[in-house]
Structure 1
Amino acid sequence: MEQNYKRSAKKSSRKSSTSAKKKGARRSRASLIKRIVLWVVLIGLVMLVVGSFLFAFYASRAPAFSEEKLQDPIPARIYDMNDELVTTLYEGQERQLIDIEDTPTHVTDAVLAVEDNRFYDHGAIDFVRLGGAVLNNITDGFGSQGASTITQQVVKRVFLTADKSLERKAQEAYLSYRLEQEYSKDEILEMYMNKIYYSDGIYGIRTAADYYFEKDLEDLNLAETAYLAGLPQLPNRYNLYVDAELGTNRARTVLSLMRHHERITEAEYNEAIETDITANLVERSEEDRASSEPDDPEYAAYINVVKQELQTNDTFRNMEVGEALASGISIYTNMDSGVQRQLQTMVDNRDYYYNPKFQSEDFNMASTILDTETGNLVAISGGRDYREVVMHNQALVEKNVGSTMKPFLAYGPAIENMQWRTDHLIEDEYEYQPDGFENTIYNYDGQDHGTVTARDALRQSLNIPAVKTFEAVKDEAGEDAPREFAENVGLDYSGKADGDYTLSFNDVLGGYESRFTPLQMAEAYATLGNGGTYNAAQSIRHIVTNEGETIEFENEGEEAMEDYTAYMLTDMLKGTFESYGSADYIQMNGLNIAGKTGTTSYSREDREEYDLPDNSAKDAWIVGYTPEYTMSLWTGFTATKAGGETSFVGADEHITPQWFFRDVMQSISTYNGQDFDRPDSVIEDNGALAVRGSEDVKSDDTSREGSRNAQPAQTVEATEEPSEVTIEPEETAEQPTQETETSESAAEEETEEETTEEPRTSEPSTEEATEEQTVQETIEETVEQTTEEPTVESSSEETVEETQPVEEPTEETTEEIDEAS
């Protein structure tokens, strides 16, 4: 019995132990679940706290809530130099705004059905749609589906970007809450319908109705209404002018949503589905479609400059141009509206030139007119039929400048640093090899003009004297003297070739990296006419904000050179328009005017490929100035075709820009007799100009030849022709990789060509030299160049036959630089 009892006790003990273990396991599981729940809750709380801090941080970085930005855009007004209103700028098409109380119900129903059907039932954020979007974003990736309410879309368009980042979403939520605190639902819906984008520069549903269908909102049929309501999702894709089928399908999607949300009946849906939404679509060509162009295209190029200058001011530096222009600002400019209209009208006039090639689509031109003294931008043309939305402003596009560079890399630095007289003697040669190069250069006519004065060498654009002057400056004034002189007048080489560029003889002749814009060339030459003070061109005088604040645009001049340098160069450049000067064909009687002509020509390879005459050029320049105005003019071709069809061929065509220059400058000038003031630092010595106190002032010097009007001993008819330059086959050790053809103009033969108004009965001067042609091969060719008198305003004809130098052929061993387009 005792044993049996003991056994029973043991069995009971085992059962109790098993039961205890089970209870312990249950307690452990319960405890684990509790711990997990606690951790989940804790993590959730931590995430909530972190999320709250992160949200607060992002919200603190949100753009300021501005009621001004919420207002509908106020167009900018542009005033000319006389404070006369010349044009009004709208961001896109001129907007026609709606009042929500007057908006037809079927229009608001369509917008709400496709964009935010529960708009009037939820707050700033629709958490029902947000939940669905979150699930989709988890499965398909962040940003795959949005749940933006109309309120959020207004905030995004006004204050934020389209970036799908967590920060931007947090800021959107915060600003949406603020918006709904400040405005009613009706007011927010009105904002949305006035601000939404409808492609082709169209903003606002009422503007879109007029643009696409020429209808008021109340006259739209249901299908047209559905199309406009659905267009903003992908405006450029659903645009009926781009893809009518996609646009139609989008309208049907909206109609389905309207039916689904019971905003239209089944009968209305069926009728609308069968309606052709293109039936009333306004016919528009590609050119007719709306853009951000102003209503007055003659001002487009000037306004293009205004927009760029606007962002240089601290007040507008960090604003989008569109935002600034839509804020109701009034922009007071330096534009002479009469001159601006005249300039652009003349550029657009294809009948101005008699030659058909200058009436073609391949020909273009660009011009800048400045106030010589202040640098104020008087007028600018960006090209024929310039439209900002589709074209480059050609006045702001860099091009090789040809011989117009010689004053700034050769003769200007020589006067500035070595105080050369205007009759400083330079030995010309038949051919010349620049220091450190194997290249051989020639003057355009292949002649040796003997000893010439600096005045005549510049006036006639002789290549060899210009290069020798450049070399003399580097030897005597320092290697960087030419570059520094050019940079002082805005012709900066520091950024060329990624900042690792060394000037060469070819830059003096307008090749290699001597590429600048017509605006920059006008600024540089205006410096000469302004006594050596450089002014950056300025279009804006001041701006008055919509709140009445005046913001001044300052423009201080900088001393770029000594006054004697500016005056002596100007005096030398007057010869361009005098007898035997490179632009003496155009008569500028009554104006004290100075300037320089220039052309750029083709590489040898291009001449051979397109069968171009040796005296053909692709760009022709003239830059000139009076004490009143400075004008630069570039003319050129946008395509190269065989036989010179799109080239300046011969003297008659090379002088193309000169006629235009003459007509504009004579038309705008006041003829007040004003001349450039000679500074006290300049004296006239033995018929030439010299720097007062310089070592070269010798009144009794009878050995010095050449007064201002002296002519070289060896002369031919004053006509600029392409220069023939032969490049020897090897580069020097100093520049083992130096390429020898310029980009853009190829600088292989940078040419200038002018002719005279009538046949000469007296001894003519030496022809104006042209930019030299660098060719990576020696050549043997004889060129017979014939020049005709222009038929414009001339009844006389003359021809000049010239023989180019002959060089023994050698093996080609180097590669030319590819010519830039």
Structure 2
Amino acid sequence: MEENYKRTKGRKTGSGTSKKGGRRSRASLIKRILLWAVLIGLILLIVGSFLFAYYASKSPAFSEEKLKDPIPAKIYDKDDELVTTLYGGQKRELTDIDETPEKVTDAVLAVEDNRFYEHGAIDFVRLGAAVLNNVTDGFGSQGASTITQQVVKRVFLTEEKTIERKAQEAYLAYRLEQEYSKDEILEMYMNKIYYSDGIYGIRTASLYYFGKELEELNLAETAYLAGLPQLPNRYNLYVDPETGTNRAHTVLNLMLHHERITEAEYNEAINTDITANLVQRSEEERASNEPEDPEYASYINVVKRELQQNDKFKDMELGEALASGLSIYTNMDSSIQRELQTMVNDRDYYYNPKFKSEHFNLASSILDTETGNLVAISGGRDYREVVMHNQALVKKNVGSTMKPFLSYGPAIENMQWRTDQKIEDEAEYQPEGFDHTIYNYDQQDHGEVTMRDALRQSLNIPAVKTFETVMDEAGENAPEEFAEAVGLEYSTEEEEDLPLTFNDVLGGGNYSQFTPLQMAEAYASLGNGGTYNEAQSIRYVVTDEGETVEFEHESEQAMEDYTAYMLTDMLKGTFEPYGSADYIPMNGLNIAAKTGTTSYSSDIREEKNLPDSSAKDAWIVGYTPEYTMSLWTGFTATEEGGDTSFVGADEHITPQWFFRDIMQSISTYNGQDFERPDSVVEVNGDELAVKGSEDMQTYEDEQRQRNTQQRQQPEEDIDEPNQVITEDPEAADEAEPSTEQETPETQPEERTEEQVEEPTEEAPEQEETTEEPTEEETEQETEESEPSPEEDPAEEETEAPEQEETTEDPASEETGEPTEEPTEEETDEAA
């Protein structure tokens, strides 16, 4: 029994030893687990630290420049009135934290980061809760970003939810809080956050949605704006008013929970209709990246281009420059700009259904004739399309509008032709060295025509012959040099420098292609005494730092003043009888202009099954002493056999009527006319010549010879009718020394009363003249003398009726009825 007791005791003893060992074993296991946990933790910490350091090293550079809130550029017109603001696709008005109402900051903090002023760059309390949710519900299920983190994410990072991006966000947030105060960071947040519809910043959102400044908002509206950035497109009141309202109520609950408003304030706000003051906006207004000023889009397009060409801004990204707080002072006449674009957009203005086609477009430029300042510009009907394809800056074939610059201008400039210079016309003509026949618009031979008549009627063959004469007598580069002096450059680095041909004179082919803006610049030179001014949209720019940057433009004397004036005087005939736009009344305006059209090539006409008379471009460019306007109309796409692909013979007048309506609307009608320079003298009545030119010297010599012959005639041979005309005794006395008598050969019965009376008034001056009459005498004697056979006024009087018989509609090469023979437009496709 004792033995059994011992055994039992021994077993107990053994059992006790086993329990102690088990405890030690468990303790050891726990120690090992803890050791491993610590070890693993250290390893993870080390790895995490290295990984964090690695990710941080790949973070975008911390840039104070990027942290600056973009300040949109402001555009001012010629009267220094603000016309629009350039947001660069981001509508943004900044707020200062010191001027932001407390209720606004309370609402933002309640919904975004209530402990913002208590924690550092990272809120570890919120982070811990977010980690647990991300472990149970998946990574990215809950965020814990502080306002500081949201700022760096918006400025430096993307919306991507990855460990790498979160690590970089934490690092940059720490950097941000080291450099800036909490107030500055909160201000950044409120100015940078997105509010849907291209709206950035809470002040911009307040103005956009409710038309109010921040201090004018009620509590419900404030709560809505504070809660909108989390899901801006979903909570947008224009998209879903109910969802937006519910979001505002959520923010009000949070404000009450965090004791940022009282129960009474909450109850009042929760019962407020936040849509009551919502600004009504159309879908188009909401979709527009540029704010509600599409009528300025074409002008702004030019402003941006000019800004990039300036030395101060050419090395900056355009978006960067426009977001740097520039104040841009332009030459825009905002009222004319609005009127021009409104008329371009008004499809009901155009009588023909095809002009309502989306492929039909217009482009126009209006300059100050004297300065070259860009007054207004339209690049087309669709302002959204203008941003990428401003038709006023796109090169087009210019048709007959090139004739003054390649034919008649160089002839006056280099050979000092008179406006009544005779040119032999033909029914058809083959330029030397080319296997191509050209025709006039009416396929008629007008015989010997003056340069004035050839330009007024826009005859093709005289223009080409003049071009060839200039190249022969003044040098083959003379026409090109004349055109390039007014900004119409043919030689470029990209293109082979080929000699000009007759096809360039007629504005066809691949070389006579210029923009409506370039054509306005060129014609303004004619109205400005021959001075070429590069079109300029910007006067000066004031930077955000207060620096004024002046904008200069090219200005130089491109031609002699007599060339500019004589061309202008001839181009006035465009609206006179037999002019190419004589059916367009321009009453009350001293205006000069040129029309032009270009046709499709024969290959395209055949391919697209278009009529022979179809044109792809129709132009008019004209000017007064006040304004110069270019207008192009045409089709930007060609459909096979479609009427909406070409300008027909009866539709060329569209740009001309448009031109008339705009010019008559904007002009002041002050009676101002182009001033004739001293270098120009009148001959044969209304014709003009260059003073001192060889041609003028010959003319004066002929007049002297005739005057001498008339003085030598016996007194008894004086015609009785002429004596009756000078019945006034005083006038007769004055006229006595210069009384002439015509021989039978001079046919005195053809002399008019005017021809007799005018010499009578000038008689005293003639009496004082010794050997050589003065220039004024010469001009008067020209009128009193018998015209030579080649200057027979009777022949000139009969010339117009002959022209009238040659065509059904002599008014214009563009508007005449189609004929069986090729028209001028077909000629323009030349070579």
Out of 596, 601, 604, the position equivalent to 2:602 is 604
CA distance in 1, matches of 2:563, 2:152: 59
CA distance in 2, matches of 1:515, 1:290: 36
Pairs within 5 Å for 1:79-90:
80-90=77-87
> Is it true that 1:441 corresponds to 2:438 in the alignment?
yes
Relative to structure 1, is the Cα distance of residues 676 and 210 closer, same or farther in structure 2, using a 3 angstrom cutoff? closer
Match 2:555 to one of 550, 554, 557: 557
Q: Distance in 1 between matches of 2:807 and 2:620?
A: 13
Preserved CA contact (<8 Å) 2:121 2:170: no
Instruction: In structure 1, give the amino acid aligned to 2:561.
Output: D
Cα RMSD (Å): 5.3
Alignment partner, residue 93 of structure 1: 91
Cα drift, residue 709 of structure 1: 7.4
Of all paired residues, the percent bearing the same amino acid is 67
Structure 2 vs 1, CA of residues 358 and 559 (structure 1 numbering), >3 Å: closer, same or farther? same
Give the match for residue 741 of structure 1.
Answer: none
Q: How far did 1:64 drift?
A: 7.3
- State the one-letter code of the partner of 1:669: S
Name the CA distance, whole Å, in 1 between partners of 2:796 and 2:331.
38
- 2:446, 2:803 within 8 Å by CA — same for their partners in 1? no
Match for residue 804 of structure 1?
Answer: 821
Provide the residue aligned with 2:694 in structure 1.
Answer: 695
Contact 1:718 1:768 in 2 (8 A): no
Structure 2 unaligned spans of 5+: 1-52, 128-143, 161-167, 251-257, 259-277, 703-787, 824-828
Q: How far, CA to CA, are the matches of 2:343 and 2:598 in structure 1? A: 24
Equivalent pair of 1:583/1:597 in contact (CA under 8 Å): yes
1:107 touches 1:217 (CA, 8 Å); kept in 2?
no
**Who is 1:775 aligned against?**
none
**Could you give the per-residue CA deviations for residues 39-66 of structure 1, whole angstroms, max 9, x where no partner exists?**
xxxxxxxxx9xx99x99xx98xx97759
| Aligned partner letter, 2:71 | P
2:617/2:634 contact within 8 Å kept: yes
Once the two structures are superposed, residues 757-794 of structure 1 have per-residue CA deviations (whole angstroms, 9 ceiling, x without a partner) of xxxxxxxxx56446xxxxxxxxxxxxxxx96xxxxxxx
Q: Secondary structure at the match of 1:369?
A: strand
Structure-2-length-normalised TM-score: 0.64
Deviates more, 1:528-537 or 1:509-518: 509-518
* Equivalent position SS for 2:449: strand
3-state DSSP class of the match of 2:468? helix
The separation in 2 between residues aligned to 1:174 and 1:718, in whole angstroms, is 89
Give the distance between the partners of 1:515 and 1:545, measured in 2 at CA.
37
What's 1:631 paired with? Answer: 629
1:364 to 361, 365, 374: 361
**Could you say if the C-alpha distance between residues 74 and 399 of structure 1 is closer, same or farther in structure 2, counting changes exceeding 3 Å?**
closer
Is contact 1:449-1:714 (8 Å) kept? no
1:597-746 correspondence runs (5 A): 597-641=595-639, 642=641, 644-651=643-650, 653-687=651-685, 688-697=687-696, 698-699=698-699, 702=788, 704-705=790-791, 712=799, 715-717=802-804
Which string of whole-angstrom CA distances, capped at 9 and with x for unpartnered residues, describes residues 389-412 of structure 1? Answer: 765322222211111111112211
Q: Give the distance between the partners of 1:335 and 1:768, measured in 2 at CA.
A: 34
Q: Deviations over 1:170-217 (max 9, x none)?
A: x99999887544422452243134224567533236756997999989
| Counterpart pick for 2:484 among 484, 487, 490 | 487
Alpha-carbon offset, residue 606 of structure 1: 3.6
Q: CA deviation at 1:679?
A: 1.7
SS in 2 for 1:479: coil
Residue number among 179, 182, 185 corresponding to 1:188 in the alignment: 185
How far 1:453 sits from its partner (Å)? 1.9
Q: Which residue type is aligned with residue 588 of structure 1?
A: M
Tell me how far apart the structure 1 counterparts of residues 437 and 790 of structure 2 sit (CA, whole Å): 29
Q: Is residue 2:341 matched to residue 1:344?
A: yes
Secondary structure of the structure 1 residue equivalent to 2:562: helix
Tell me how far 1:541 sits from its aligned partner.
2.2
Gap change, CA 1:719 and 1:390, over 3 Å in 2: farther
Deviation at 1:476, TM superposition (A): 2.4
Relative to structure 1, the CA distance from residue 768 to residue 586 in structure 2 (aligned partners, 3 Å threshold; closer, same or farther) is closer
Q: Which has the larger radius of gyration?
A: 2
Q: Secondary structure of the residue that 2:616 maps to in structure 1?
A: strand
Q: Is the 8 A contact 1:593 1:625 kept in 2?
A: yes
Within 2, Cα distance between the matches of 1:402 and 1:718?
25
Q: Which moved more, 1:324-333 or 1:407-416?
A: 324-333
Q: Contact 1:527–1:534 (CA<8 Å) still a contact in 2? A: yes
Deviation at 1:462, TM superposition (A): 1.6
Q: Contact conserved, 2:354 with 2:643, CA < 8 A, in 1?
A: no
State the aligned residue count: 636
Whether 2:298 is the aligned partner of 1:301: answer: yes
Instruction: State how 1:570-609 maps to structure 2 within 5 Å.
Output: 570-609=568-607
Alignment partner, residue 376 of structure 2:
379
3-state DSSP class of the match of 2:363? strand
Cα distance in 2, alignment partners of residues 124 and 475 from structure 1: 84
Q: Of the candidates 412, 416, 429, which is equivalent to residue 415 of structure 1?
A: 412
CA shift in 2, pair 1:401/1:187, >3 Å: same
Q: Within 2, Cα distance between the matches of 1:585 and 1:417?
A: 34
Q: CA deviation at 1:483?
A: 1.8
Letter matched to residue 503 of structure 1:
L
Over 3 Å counting, the alpha-carbon distance change for 1:309 and 1:120 in structure 2 is farther
> Displacement, 1:514?
1.5
Q: 1:335 aligned to 2:332?
A: yes
Q: 1:187 to 1:602 in 2, by over 3 A?
A: same
SS at match of 1:364: strand
Distance 1:289 1:101, change over 3 A: same
1:127-146 Cα offsets, whole Å, 9 max, x none, are: xx9xxxxxxxxxxxxxxxxx
Decide whether aligned partners of structure 1 residues 346 and 389 sit closer, same or farther in structure 2, where only a CA change above 3 A counts.
closer
Q: CA deviation at 1:517?
A: 1.4
Report the CA distance between 1:557 and its aligned residue.
1.9
Alpha carbons 2:104, 2:222 under 8 Å: kept:
no
Map 1:211-230; keep pairs closer than 5 Å: 228-229=229-230
- Residues in 2 aligned to 1:187 and 1:347: alpha-carbon distance in whole angstroms: 48
* C-alpha distance 340-605 of structure 1, shift in aligned 2 (>3 A): same
Q: Distance in 2 between matches of 1:124 and 1:196?
A: 19
- What is the CA distance between 1:493 and its match in structure 2? 1.8
- Residue 471 (structure 2) pairs with residue 474 (structure 1): yes
Question: Are the structure 2 counterparts of residues 450 and 176 from structure 1 closer, same or farther at C-alpha, using a change threshold of 3 Å?
Answer: farther
**Distance in structure 2 (CA, Å) of the matches to 1:709 and 1:393:** 46
1:498 alignment partner, SS class: coil
TM-score if structure 1 supplies the norm length?
Answer: 0.64
* Residue 155 of structure 1: how far off its partner (Å): 7.0
Structure 1, unaligned runs of 5 or more: 1-47, 130-146, 165-170, 256-262, 264-280, 722-754, 756-765, 771-785, 788-799, 807-815
| Structure 1 residues 533 and 123: CA distance shift in structure 2, 3 A | same
Equivalents in 2 of 1:228, 1:677: separation in Å? 64
The answer on 1:430 being equivalent to 2:432 is no
Change beyond 3 A, Cα 1:390–1:86? closer
Q: In structure 2, how many angstroms separate the alpha carbons of the residues matched to 1:119 and 1:377?
A: 53
Q: By how many angstroms is 1:567 displaced?
A: 1.1
